[in-house]
Every structure is written in structure tokens, then in C-alpha cells.
Amino acid sequence: MSNEETTASNENAEVGVRFADLGLSPLVLKAVEKIGYETPSPIQAESIPHLLAGKDILGTAQTGTGKTAAFALPLLSTINVKASIPQVLVLAPTRELAIQVAEAFQSYASQLKNFHVLPIYGGSDYGGQIRALKRGVQVVVGTPGRVMDHLKKGTLKLNDLKAVVLDEADEMLRMGFIDDVTWILDQTPEQRQVALFSATMPREIRKVADTYLTNPEIVKIETKSQTVDKIEQLYWLVRGANKLDALTRILEVEEFDAIIIFVRTKNATAELAEKLEARGYSAAALNGDMSQSLRERAIERLKNGKLDIIVATDVAARGIDVKRVSHVINYDIPYDTEAYVHRIGRTGRAGRSGKAILFVAPREQRMLQSIERATKSDIKRLELPSKAQVADKRITQFKAKISGAIENQDLDFFREQVVAFAEETAAEPLDIAAALAYMAQMDNPLLQPKDIIEDKPMREERRDRNDRSRNDRERGDRERRPRRERDENMDTYRIEVGHNDHVKPGDIVGAIANEADIDSGNIGHIRIRDDFSLVDLPKGMPPKLMDHMQKVRVRNKPMQLKLDTGPRGGGERGGDRKPYKSRDNNAPHRSARKPHRGQARD
């Protein structure tokens, strides 16, 4: 390998480089802008130009450094969507990673018509994968064992393959897949591009690189082990409660002076800041689209106490040094460990202590482990404040306001009004005070049991899910009895999984509850047929959520959720039906989260 090694880090990465500067195709760049990404991570900035130039890549980078976009964006820029044949093959060590990478390709290709990506992995039905391959796909993402099986069966052909990506090669070595990987590489055309990414570079991986890569560009993303003093670090595992609701509950109970909340995209800064403003917080967005003067004004307001919360991206928050920042909240987990250290370094300034809270989705727990190693910290799990704690905090603050008014305000006029009202109505003074207290707290009620979801321990949550599944099965046993009157607040939706897929009511309830953040109690009647199922859900599902739900998997099959248009009388029909059309409905909803999928080997 004669090419010079390129080393990049967040410290020395070229400041000011944007995705528009890297040579991506206009449609891919449009998708990136639509997602809201601002600037490339170091590995993206280094790798994308090389891959666009057709060169092989040998990359050393940890999980969470943005590797997927580093290879997906340039390879999508060169793909021929008119040819429905495999042009890119990505090998990943686990089912979880294969699905994640396939979803990322789909997202980055949102502006490419007739683009198809297929994840293939062990433990799922061969038939569906074979049918998808026959229909035609441009990108295949798979675990080595299942890819090898398809190649041997002749159901996957790599004659026209342009590029192969080995993602987390050292993990594939650790899991015993390296022989399968080399066998697969032997089946690929001689003239194809290879990108190999690995967190470490053991001898066996170096041997693969020497054998199968041609004069590769070497990109190394250095991650320094860093300690973080005087900052209490906590994480909340995203489940149960909606992220925004969880954030609000944390803000209500935490004693904070000023907070910086980090999100991944510039679009998210504005959206979250607006939602926090609507909930009564003094919040503002900070992103790369803002002029320097607006950015400086927001920071100055934060310093002066006229603003309490800034929602920012990594780029926009560079250089913020505000002593009163007591908390940093990572609403979206950062791309890499160094970004995390930079983020939480916005608190604990000038010798003060600080607190950092990290929201971690189930599939992001490996990144949490990387952060703990890099910071030499044991990040403790945060339990969401209970509704009783939230209520106690609100009551304490309410009493403090009353005490402040008694001590600092001239109340003579108001005493006169209370006395006059008591004389006119013979009302008890305590009742009058209670009525006034009720009126004063109406905008921020002291007790809100309906809007607070308890964050149940995992065992209790699993027990509830089992009880719910049993109840759903019992309900299914009663399907042949006369149906109860249909709820006018529900719509019936069709999903393309049924008895033939061994689906159970609990599978459907779990997938919908997790992805749509719909409380299980609001999921209505479920009817499972041989090759499809029907489920009643609250009216007004937003179009974006509808689009997302079509791709959610139940029993390893996309549910393809659509509004049901079949007849109601003597049962539901199968067959073709009209595609779902977006309805003009502004009903609020919770943003969907990606479900956790357990890792599985072939």
C-alpha cells in the first residue's frame, strides 16, 4: 500500500468543509440537505472524495464516527438507478447493523427514483428475500453467512457489482466470519471498488486488505481517551415515554441555570426550540443557517439570563463559553466520542460543576460503551422523574411564588377585594384562596396525570407486554362472535403480515406502540388473517408517520401499513387495494423511534 496515510480527528478536520464541497451528486446532496445534515464528520470529509474518485479505502474508525454516510453517500452518487441489478454489496457482522445500514441507504436515496436496497440476514424468510432479489435491487446489505447462501443458491448474482464495503471488519473476524468474507470477495468481479472499515487493524484484517484492496487510500480517525472532571454524567435509555415528554419531565425536576441541548440536524434545532417555547421555556435554536450576528445575539441572551435553553448542532455550538450553563443534554447521541466530549465541555466551566444527560436509543448502546471507554467514566442510568416527583416540584415552585408575593408585593388592594367578595357571597376565605390558586395554576397545572407516562422498570414493562399479548389472544379467540360497535374515533388499517408469517397480536401491538408512540391502551381491535391483518388505530395518523410505519418490520417483514378500504360486512377482503393517500390532518403525534432489534448471527 503505497499511498500516504491520512489521519483525521475532530480537532484537525478541515473546518468549514460542507457536504456541497465534496462532489456528491445533486440528488444525493438534496437528500442530505433535506435530512438537515450540516457538515461532514472527519471520516466523511476524508473518505467521500476518495470513493467518488473510484479509489479503494482502508479506514480505521470506531463505531459512531459516521462511517455509514462516508461510504453510502459517494456510492449512491455513482449508482445507476435504471439498472435493477446489484451494484453495491455491504457486508455487516450482525442483523442489527445490516438493517441499520439499509435504512440509512434508503434515507440517503430519498430523491432517487426507482432505487431499492435489500437487507439480507439469517433468521428471516428466504422466500421474501428471493422475491425481492428477482424484482431487482441496486444495493444489498447482508451478513456474510446469508449472502454466501444466496450466492451458492444462485439467487444473488454479482456479475455487475461496482463496489464492496466491509463494515466493522474486525467484528466479523471476532465472530468467525472472516473465511466467509474472503469467499464472498473471491466471487466478486476483478474490477470493483473495495472499502474496508475496521475499529482495529489485527493481522488477519491487514492480510485481507493486502489481498483484496488495490493501492488503497488509508484513512484513520484517531479517538483519544479523555477524562471529564467535575461533570456528572447520566444517560436515559429511550423507551416508554416520548423523548420530548421525557425531556420536559427532566427539565421540570432538575435545578438548572442554563442548558444547551444538542441535536444532530439544523432542522431539529428549530423544531425542538419551538416545542419547548410552547411548553413555557425560554428557548432558542442555534444552527449553521443563522447569521453570525443572530448567533452572537442568542449567546449574549444566554449569558445575560434572558434565555435559558439553547438547542444547537455541534457546528453551531463551537466556541460557546457561557459560565451559567449548568447542564448539557444530548437529545441526539453524537456521531463520535470526541464530539461527546466537546459537547459536555460546554458545562463545568470556570471550575464549576456541571451535569450531562445523554439520551440513548436501544440500538445506540454500543456508542454509549465507546463513550464510557473514551471518557474513562461509568455513566449512570437516569430514571425519569415520576409523576409524583413532577407534581411535588410544581407545588414547591407554586408555594415559592405565593411566598414571594406575600413578602415583596403590596397586597392591600387585593385584600380589600377578597374581603368584599367574602362579604357579598358569604364564601369562606380558604375557599376563595383555593379558587384563586386554581385559577393561577391553570396555564401550568400542578397535577397532570394524563400527560405523564411512568417509565416502568424493564421487568414490569415486559410483564405488561405479556399480559397485553394474552389479552389480545383472548380477544382474537372471540373474533367469530358478533363484532362490537365500531369506535367512530378509530380508523382501520391493513398490514401485510398474518398467520402465514406466524404473527401474534403482541407482535403487532409491540411494533406499533414502539414506533408510533401510541399507548397500547389506544390500540384497538386486531384481526389476523392468513396473509394480512387489520388493526384499529386512532384517527388522524400524520402522513410522515404513515410513510414511516410502512417500513416497520413485524416478524422480519415490512408491515406496509395502509388505511383499509375493504368492505365491512361479512369480513375483510384480501387482494389489491388503492394505495394510502395522505390526508389533510394536523393532529399532533409523537415522533417515531427506531425499535431495538437484537443482534443475531447467521
Of residues 526, 530, 534, 540, the one with CA closest to residue 565:
534
In a shared domain, residues 55 and 126: yes
Identify the residue with better confidence: 510 or 20. 20
In a shared domain, residues 350 and 467: no
3-class DSSP assignment, residue 140 = strand
Sign of the dihedral defined by the CA atoms of residues 97, 102, 105, 107, in that order: negative
In a shared domain, residues 66 and 177: yes
Q: Which residues have a Cβ under 8 Å from the Cβ of 457 and sit 6 or more positions away?
A: none
Q: Which residues have a Cβ under 8 Å from the Cβ of 131 and sit 6 or more positions away?
A: none
Domain that holds residue 50: 5-221
Helices (H), 82-234: 95-108, 126-135, 144-153, 169-174, 178-186, 203-212
Q: What is the pLDDT of residue 485?
A: 46
Q: How confident is the model at residue 269 (pLDDT cuts 50, 70, 90)?
A: very high
What pTM value is reported for the model?
Answer: 0.50
Q: How confident is the model at residue 429 (pLDDT cuts 50, 70, 90)?
A: confident
Residue 480 within a domain: yes
Single residue among 221, 242, 261 that ends a domain in this structure: 221
CATH of the domain at 324: 3.40.50.300
Q: What is the pLDDT of residue 447?
A: 67
In a shared domain, residues 241 and 352: yes
Average pLDDT over residues 563-589: 44
Query: Secondary structure of 185-210 in the HEC alphabet?
Result: HHCCCCCCEEEEEECCCCHHHHHHHH
Identify the residue with better confidence: 296 or 473. 296
Nine-digit cell string for 271: 423544531
The type of residue at 566 is G
Q: What is the pLDDT of residue 260?
A: 95
Q: How confident is the model at residue 520 (pLDDT cuts 50, 70, 90)?
A: low
Mean pLDDT over each residue of the chain, to the nearest integer: 79
Nine-digit cell string for 281: 421555556
Average pLDDT over residues 533-541: 86
Q: How confident is the model at residue 501 (pLDDT cuts 50, 70, 90)?
A: confident
Q: How confident is the model at residue 554 (pLDDT cuts 50, 70, 90)?
A: confident
Q: What is the pLDDT of residue 226?
A: 57
Measured between alpha carbons, how far apart are the two ends of the chain, in Å?
33
Q: How confident is the model at residue 331 (pLDDT cuts 50, 70, 90)?
A: very high
Residue 588 within a domain: no
Ranked by mean pLDDT, the top range of 86-95, 414-423, 543-552 is: 86-95
Residue 580 within a domain: no
Of residues 335, 323, 181, the one with CA closest to residue 258:
323
Nine-digit cell string for 457: 422498570
Q: What is the pLDDT of residue 537?
A: 87
Single residue among 168, 193, 221 that ends a domain in this structure: 221
Q: How confident is the model at residue 376 (pLDDT cuts 50, 70, 90)?
A: confident
In a shared domain, residues 119 and 23: yes
**CA atoms lying within 13 Å on the CB side of residue 291:** 3
User: Please, which contacts does 386-391 make with residues 24 or more away whose CB atoms are closer than 8 Å?
Assistant: 386/454, 387/448, 387/449, 387/452, 387/454, 389/253, 390/249, 390/252, 390/253, 390/448, 390/452, 391/446, 391/447, 391/448
Q: Which residues have a Cβ under 8 Å from the Cβ of 45 and sit 6 or more positions away?
A: 8, 13, 14, 17, 22
Average pLDDT over residues 519-546: 82
Backbone angles phi, psi at 484, to 5 degrees: -70, 165
Of residues 564, 567, 566, the one with CA closest to residue 541:
564
Average pLDDT over residues 67-76: 93
**CA atoms lying within 13 Å on the CB side of residue 391:** 9
Residue 589 within a domain: no
Q: How confident is the model at residue 521 (pLDDT cuts 50, 70, 90)?
A: low
Whether the predicted pLDDT of 379 surpasses 80: yes
CA–centroid distance for 490 within its chain: 28
Q: How confident is the model at residue 64 (pLDDT cuts 50, 70, 90)?
A: low
Backbone angles phi, psi at 253, to 5 degrees: -95, -30
Q: What is the pLDDT of residue 439?
A: 82
Residue 473 within a domain: yes
Residue 502 within a domain: yes
Query: Secondary structure of 555-583 in the HEC alphabet?
Result: CCEECCCEECCCCCCCCCCCCCCCCCCCC
- Total number of domains constituting the chain: 4
Nine-digit cell string for 350: 470556570
* CA separation for the pair 328, 305 (Å, rounded): 16
Nine-digit cell string for 582: 395522505
Of residues 566, 568, 567, 569, the one with CA closest to residue 577:
566
Q: What is the pLDDT of residue 125?
A: 81
DSSP letters for 13-64: S-TT--GGGTT--HHHHHHHHHHT--S--HHHHHHHHHHHTT--EEEE--TT
Whether the predicted pLDDT of 156 surpasses 60: yes
In a shared domain, residues 411 and 513: no
User: Contact, 329 vs 214, CB < 8 A?
Assistant: no
Residue 417 within a domain: yes
Of residues 33, 40, 96, 90, the one with CA closest to residue 69:
40
Q: What is the pLDDT of residue 254?
A: 84
Backbone angles phi, psi at 309, to 5 degrees: -135, 130
Sign of the dihedral defined by the CA atoms of residues 103, 109, 112, 115, in that order: negative
Residue with cell 425519569: 384
In a shared domain, residues 359 and 440: no
CATH of the domain at 546: 3.30.70.330
Backbone angles phi, psi at 336, to 5 degrees: -150, 175
Sign of the dihedral defined by the CA atoms of residues 417, 419, 424, 430, in that order: positive
In a shared domain, residues 236 and 212: no
Q: What is the pLDDT of residue 465?
A: 42
Residue with cell 489481498: 211
Of residues 466, 597, 557, the one with CA closest to residue 97:
597
Whether the predicted pLDDT of 51 surpasses 90: yes
List pLDDT tens digits, range 110-140: 999 999 999 999 877 888 899 999 999 999 9
User: Contact, 546 vs 580, CB < 8 A?
Assistant: yes
List pLDDT tens digits, range 281-319: 899 999 878 877 888 888 889 988 899 999 998 877 766
Single residue among 417, 451, 485 that ends a domain in this structure: 451
- What angle, 0 to 180 degrees and rounded to 10, lies between the N-to-C axes of helices 178-186 and 144-153? 40
Q: What is the pLDDT of residue 10?
A: 40
Nine-digit cell string for 32: 442530505
In a shared domain, residues 530 and 559: yes
Residue 447 within a domain: yes
Residue with cell 459516521: 66
Identify the residue with better confidence: 38 or 577. 38
Q: What is the pLDDT of residue 361?
A: 87
Least confident of 29-43, 207-221, 226-240: 226-240
Q: What is the pLDDT of residue 189?
A: 94
* CA separation for the pair 105, 116 (Å, rounded): 9
- Provide the phi-psi class of 209: left if phi over 0, else alpha when psi is between -120 and 50, else beta: alpha
List pLDDT tens digits, range 559-572: 888 888 765 433 33
In a shared domain, residues 32 and 60: yes
In a shared domain, residues 51 and 182: yes
Whether the predicted pLDDT of 467 surpasses 60: no
In a shared domain, residues 73 and 169: yes
Identify the residue with better confidence: 454 or 493. 493
DSSP letter assigned to residue 91: E
Give the pairing type, strands 139-142 and 117-120.
Answer: parallel
